[in-house]
């Protein structure tokens, strides 16, 4: 059952942290250059248009993820860093990794692209799960 009784400040802050993790992960200092090459994305001015709107939508998605993870944290009664991270890892293992495997199986994308994308989700869910567990 969905609980609306979660720590909304924790959800908001972990959504910001989630965005920061993604920004770093896909930056040129981390894996951004490889991701662009493997994705075969052409970066031009046209792609950069509407970036503010895209970031806003991504933040809403991060809020939803944090809210749902907060509910899983409550459901599993995770109350420390380890159990919170484990909850995030379990969600990644059961829902994120299998779904994202489709880019390799059906879209013929390289396994490295799968590892970059799912790796970000893995780190993200583990970190925000740990934070939510101790903050809630």
Identify the pLDDT of residue 1. 66
Report the alpha-carbon distance of residue 117 to residue 121 in Å, rounded.
Answer: 7
Local confidence band at 51 (pLDDT 50, 70, 90 cut-offs): confident
CA distance 48 to 15: 23
72: pLDDT strictly greater than 90: yes
Given the structure tokens 């493997």, which residue do they identify?
A: 38
């Amino acid at each position: 059952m969905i609980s609306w009784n979660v720590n909304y400040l924790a959800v908001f802050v972990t959504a910001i942290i989630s965005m920061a993790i993604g920004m770093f992960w896909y930056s040129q200092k981390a894996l951004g250059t490889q991701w662009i090459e493997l994705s075969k994305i052409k970066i031009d001015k046209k792609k950069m248009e509407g970036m503010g709107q895209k970031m806003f939508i991504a933040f809403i998605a991060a809020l939803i993820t944090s809210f749902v993870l907060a509910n899983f944290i409550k459901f599993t009664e995770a109350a420390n860093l380890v159990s919170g991270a484990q909850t995030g890892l379990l969600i990644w293992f059961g829902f994120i990794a299998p779904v994202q495997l489709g880019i390799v199986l059906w879209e013929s994308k390289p396994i490295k692209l799968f590892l970059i994308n799912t790796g970000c989700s893995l780190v993200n869910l583990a970190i925000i799960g740990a934070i939510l567990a101790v903050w809630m």
